[in-house]
A and B are shown apart, each in its own frame.
Chain A
Amino acid sequence: MDKAIELNAVDTTYEGEKIPCLKNITLHINKGEFIAVIGPNGAGKTTLLETINGLLESNRGEVKVLGKALRGDGNSIRKYVGYVPQDYSIDELTPFLVSDVVLMGRYGKIGLLKPITKKDKEIASNMMEYMGINNISKRPIGKLSGGQAQKVMIARALAKEPEIILMDEPFSNLDFEARREVSEKLIHFHKNKGMTFVIVIHDIASIPKSCNRVIVMDNGRIVADGNKEDILKPELLEMGYKGMVC
């Protein structure tokens, strides 16, 4: 099966620090998989996502995305990787409209010196409609609630029509009903577009039904990796993260 993501013996260390945040990670993800990454705070989940899309450079090992080594070619690979970060710099006065922010998701894919086409705008508009944010498309992004802004960031990532999508706590600001609704939309996307999903989730109960594999991280290492049913046993769910690993 074609590999979407390959990490071989990867260490990632933040500049100025001696201890790596990711330690000797080997992880292979096939195209079309839906993976949830769980673990306690500081386990290295966000670092893992940012190492995969090259926002953080690994200092040991090899990272390959869609068959290409990431080192030195991050920008061209990121055109095929959607990313929903956990934090983004939006404040009340941020002078950007929702429709512009969603359309921006396509800018890297459109490429340098190429104009934004009608099709690009159409795709962005469809994605807003799909995420149920069409009614706020002309509102300033800084004026939205946390949940609305999160939907905008998901629509932005999906508007790129990526082959791989990395999401860092995409449900953290959503209420129960919105979580269910967004989760179903992601499942639909996964089934119909065949995208590879890697989602960092803190709340285990929010893991979408489509998820076929769960990776547990702790202290910068992968401590468990397997089928959702094997990893998320009810007794482990009750215990929380610590000690849940077999």
Chain B
Amino acid sequence: MLELFSTKIILFAIIGAVLTGYTCSLMGTFVVRMNLSSLGFAMSHAAFAGAALGIFLRKDPLIFALLFSTFVSLALGPLADKAKLKTDVVIGVIFSLSMALGLLFLNLSPDTAMSSTAMSILWGSVLGMTTADIIYLLIITVIAILFVIMFFKEINAILFDRKLARSSGINDKPFYYLILLLTSLTVAFSLKLVGGLLVFALMINPTSSVYQFSYDMKKIILLSPIVGVISCLLGMLMSFSFDLPTGSAIAIVCSAIFGISVLISPKRRKG
């Protein structure tokens, strides 16, 4: 019975890792290309602040994490457009506010402040994956894949140059905001696996690794999620083998893949 239970946990963890690795890295291709590297950072911290509020209110932290990161994604685009500031500047403001709120909420609930729930939000708890978590992850993965397939032309043109896309008759704003929204949902649903502090690595590193080998955006969009999945599975293997925190192990693996990619990248070779 116990063996069956642990098999189910491991199976859920593996499925969770595959889905999280795929979606995070798929959205990461947009985040890297659009120079929104700090976006994942801000959203993960917004999710952390939301989860901390959930803990303070003794409600489901995931729901509040979702609400906060979705709010950030919805506010970020229009705020950056209206304020005529670079998105990274607005992200910086949101990041510090989120971190402050997160710590404030945890401080207001001292009995749970450093409890396992709070820690799992920060660092992930892959072995705590539930059927509901898997279903949520599956839904967001399917939505992200459909989004890319259905609107590949528009996304590709926007990734090349937003203004040029607009000049050719593409309404860029809804797509840009959708990319931000999908990224925030991906971050919130990925907290369980890698945690708020490391989800950023899973968004940036696989895409940055594939960038070292290709100048073709189509290939980058296709291959980054595969590298993301491999990073997650290898990270989990490392985590189980050496009894390491899963989020940290995944971040270390994808950072190592990035490091190796930079070293062997043909882009730096001559002739």
Contact = CB atoms under 8 A, between A and B. Distances in A.
B167 A55 contact: yes
Interface residues of A, number: 36
B115 interface: no
Contacts, number: 89
Contacts of A246: none
A140 interface: yes
B157 interface: yes
Contacts of B214: 95
B270 interface: no
A241 B153 CA distance: 42
B240 interface: no
Interface stretch (B92-100, B168-176, B183-191): B168-176
A83 B168 CA distance: 7
A100 B220 CA distance: 14
B217 A95 contact: yes
Nearest to A83: B167
A96 B164 CA distance: 14
A61 interface: no
A96 B160 contact: yes
Contact of A85 (B164, B217, B220): B164
Nearest to B170: A108
Contacts of A105: 168
B167 A140 contact: no
A140 B220 CA distance: 13
Contact of A55 (B150, B153, B156, B166): B166
Contacts of A90: 161
Nearest to B152: A116
A142 B211 CA distance: 14
A90 B33 CA distance: 12
A93 B211 contact: yes
A30 interface: no
B167 A85 contact: yes
Contact of B169 (A85, A95, A109, A140): A109
A96 B151 CA distance: 17
Contacts of A140: 215-216
A160 B211 contact: no
B interface, size bucket = 20 to 34
B163 interface: yes
A87 to B, nearest CB: 9
A89 B165 CA distance: 12
A95 B171 contact: no
A204 B229 CA distance: 57
Contact of A78 (B160, B168, B211): B168
Interface string B229-244: 0000000000000000
Contacts of A142: 215
Interface string A82-111: 010100111001111100110011111110
B133 interface: no
Interface of B: 33, 84, 150-151, 153-154, 156-157, 160-161, 163-171, 211, 214-218, 220, 267
Given A95-B214, A100-B216, A106-B168, 8 more contacts: A75-B171, A100-B218, A104-B153, A105-B168, A107-B168, A107-B170, A140-B215, A142-B215
30 contacts: A75-B170, A75-B171, A78-B168, A78-B169, A79-B168, A79-B169, A81-B167, A88-B161, A89-B161, A95-B33, A95-B220, A96-B216, A96-B217, A97-B215, A100-B160, A100-B217, A100-B218, A104-B153, A104-B156, A104-B160, A104-B168, A105-B168, A107-B154, A107-B156, A107-B157, A107-B169, A107-B170, A113-B150, A113-B151, A140-B215
